[in-house]
A and B are shown apart, each in its own frame.
Chain A
């Protein structure tokens, strides 16, 4: 009766304005993905079949799994350019321990531990020696990829004996015969990082450090410890992603990780994470990763020359970062 005379704040029901204000960046990137997908779907038959999706879901997780915690690192105003070499170094450990003991589970643990340790070293160098991470991790990228060559003598190692094992099936098998397990892992990592970032004290501290380090210190946030851990988490993820990759192709090539750096970073920035720290979402990176990965097959399917891919990469990245910058200024 009196409903038109008492303007109640829309606490009950769905408040679109507030939803957009809170989630503008995610809505933005999601719209970009939908738009692209409609274009693909209409313009090429390939995107009307399942294969291309299976292919994307089996290859994106290798580096997508790293891009997710990398998002957290960038929100914390740091950078890791060395994750490709962490992948290779960790899988080197896997191969070594597996050869020595014949126990893939043990080798798996050693692999993750290596990733953790190498990430930790990055963090310690950045935090306690005070070298900016952009520079420190260029150095460690060279160092660890060099170490991999030294240890392996540049040889590759087949991992065929893992074929048919439950270990392999759980990591990279196909669920119901078509759904790549690595995609499940990527979803689990995304959920895990989301919780850490948005529902755990650790993530709250990451946002604060990225936003204003001085404030974080004045208010008693354990800045150094949080920073070091951010690097270590990226390290573990790199180890995991790298291992999925090697096991899927049943071979460890020492150049494992090559080519993942730029697309990994592109996914993070495409997803709306600010280079200046303090802002970013896991959801954005997740979508960003698939947008980036879809470009090449789309270009090929449409029938353009392969090198058009890079032009489109460039355009999409610049346009979407521009979009995020504008949205950020408008919303909130």
Chain B
């Protein structure tokens, strides 16, 4: 490993009772790098990223952020370390207002933990007009997100992940539920993450999306890393062949 890696997982395993979701995973994310994660349903992609976000504790193995070992990672700690995530399950609170959703777990506060509601409303308003692209006056920072469409909700989750100046942005199936134009915007955005000198883990079932934006692609198969390629070394067709081969035989 190099001191320069933003993130490194060494020999990480995770089991839920008898289910071994991850076995001896070695995985790294460099600075300024977009890593695509591919694998079948149940391969362990979401479990892997939830270890990085501090949501799951690994059963064994080690985690390093910027070359420093971190034990007992929690979600708040991971967020402090610059990890922001768009979870596959979106992680929104439907009955709460837009501003509360943006600031879940990272509320802006004044002294003694009192909420800076005014600022959170104002920031939400700004995000709505800008990144979220809401134009209707019916939607305010105080609107509950219950009535939002799937794509709008996904937009909220994405904008939230970007708001906090993350160093590592994790996107777990972010294009799910997005229209074509929104998907294109998202992919552009992932490219910008790289230009901005940040890192990204990108999970998508659409191989074309992953191939499009990733610098490196990691193939997961039934809880293990089946292969790892730099995009520069491999054409899209070769990638598709390899994936097919892995699906059939379980190895490259």
Contact = CB atoms under 8 A, between A and B. Distances in A.
Interface residues of A, number: 27
Contacts of A204: 100, 103, 107, 115
A215 B94 CA distance: 10
A212 B93 contact: yes
Interface string A260-285: 00000000000000000011000000
Contacts of A22: 142
Chain B interface, DSSP helix/strand/loop, else mixed:
loop
A201 B91 contact: no
A256 B227 CA distance: 69
Q: Which of the listed residues A9, A199, A204, A278 has the most CB atoms from chain B within 10 Å of its own CB?
A: A204
Nearest to B147: A332
Contacts, number: 80
Given A204-B115, A332-B143, A332-B144, A219 B75 contact: yes
Contacts of B55: 217-218
Interface string B76-105: 101100000101010111111000100111
Contact of A212 (B92, B114, B115, B137): B92
B114 A199 contact: yes
B135 to A, nearest CB: 12
25 contacts: A199-B115, A199-B117, A200-B113, A201-B107, A201-B109, A201-B114, A207-B93, A208-B93, A212-B93, A214-B89, A216-B105, A217-B75, A218-B53, A218-B87, A218-B89, A219-B91, A219-B104, A220-B54, A220-B78, A220-B79, A221-B105, A278-B95, A279-B95, A332-B143, A332-B144
Given A215-B91, A219-B104, A220-B74, 18 more contacts: A9-B137, A18-B140, A199-B117, A201-B114, A204-B100, A208-B104, A208-B105, A212-B92, A212-B93, A214-B91, A215-B93, A218-B50, A218-B53, A218-B75, A219-B75, A219-B105, A220-B54, A332-B143
Interface of B: 50, 53-55, 74-76, 78-79, 85, 87, 89, 91-96, 100, 103-107, 109, 113-115, 117, 137, 140, 142-144, 146-147
